[in-house]
Amino acid sequence: MRNFLIYGIILIAIILSIGAIFRPEAGSREVSLSAVIEQAKAGNVQSIQVEEDILLIKLNGSNEVVRSRKESASSVEEILRDNAIPVGTATNAVEVIVKGPSGFGSFFGLIINFLPLLIFGGILLFMMKQAQGTNSQAMSFGKSKARMQSGEKPTVKFDDVAGQDEAKIELEEVVDFLKHPQKFIAIGAKIPRGVLLIGSPGTGKTLLAKAVSGEAEVPFFSISGSEFVEMFVGVGASRVRDLFDQAKRNAPAIVFVDEIDAVGRQRGAGLGGSHDEREQTLNQILVEMDGFDSNSNLIVIAATNRPDVLDPALLRPGRFDRQVTLDLPDLTGRKAVLDVHAKGKPFNKEVSLETVAKQTPGFSGADLANLLNEAAILTARKAKKKISMDELNESVDRLIAGPEKKSRVMTQEEKKVVAYHEAGHAIVGHFQEEADPVFKVTIVPRGMAGGYTRSLPKDDRRLHDKAYYKAMMAQALGGYVSEEVFFGIPTTGAHDDISKVTQIAKEMVTKWGMSDKLGTRTFGRRESMVFLGRDIAEQRDYSEKTAEEIDEEIRILVDEAKLQCESVIAEHKDKLELLAETLIEVETIEAEALENLLNSAPDEIKAKNNHVQEENEDDDIKELDAANNQEEGPGNIKLNPSGPTIE
In 3D, which of 223, 230, 267, 226 has the Cα closest to residue 246?
Answer: 223
Write out the H or E segment, with its range, that includes residue 35. Answer: helix 33-41
Let me know the angle formed at the C-alpha of 159 by 156 and 160, rounded to the nearest 5 degrees.
50
Among residues 465, 436, 457, 452, the alpha carbon closest in space to that of 363 is found at 457
pLDDT of residue 612 exceeding 70:
no
Helix (H, G, I), strand (E, B) or coil at 296: coil
| Nearest-angstrom CA–CA distance, 307 and 286 | 17
The residues annotated with a catalytic role in the active site are 422
Least confident of 144-148, 252-256, 330-334: 144-148
Q: Which amino acid is at 86?
A: P
Backbone angles phi, psi at 538, to 5 degrees: -125, 115
Rounded CA separation 480/494 (Å): 6
pLDDT-above-90 percentage for the chain: 22
- Tens of pLDDT along 554-596? 999 999 999 999 999 999 999 999 999 999 998 889 888 988 8
Tens of pLDDT along 426-459?
999 999 989 999 989 999 888 777 888 988 887 7
- In this predicted model, which residue has the larger pLDDT, 176 or 61? 176
Per DSSP, the three-state class of 123 is helix
CA triple 224-222-219, angle to 5 deg = 170
pTM for this one?
Answer: 0.67
pLDDT at residue 228, as a whole number: 76
Distance between CA atoms of 261 and 272, rounded to whole angstroms?
A: 17
The distance from CA 549 to its chain's CA centroid, rounded to whole angstroms, is: 47
| Type of residue at 514 | M
What is the rounded distance in angstroms from the CA atom of residue 355 to the CA atom of residue 331? 10
CB count within 10 Å of CB 9 equals 13
**b (16+ CB within 10 A) / e for 50-77:** bbbebbbbbeeeeeebbbbebeeeeebb
Alpha carbon distance 81, 267 (integer Å):
96
The C-alpha atoms of residue 472 and residue 467 are separated, in whole angstroms, by 9
Given a cut of 60, whether residue 133 has pLDDT beyond it is no
d(CA 631, CA 22): 97
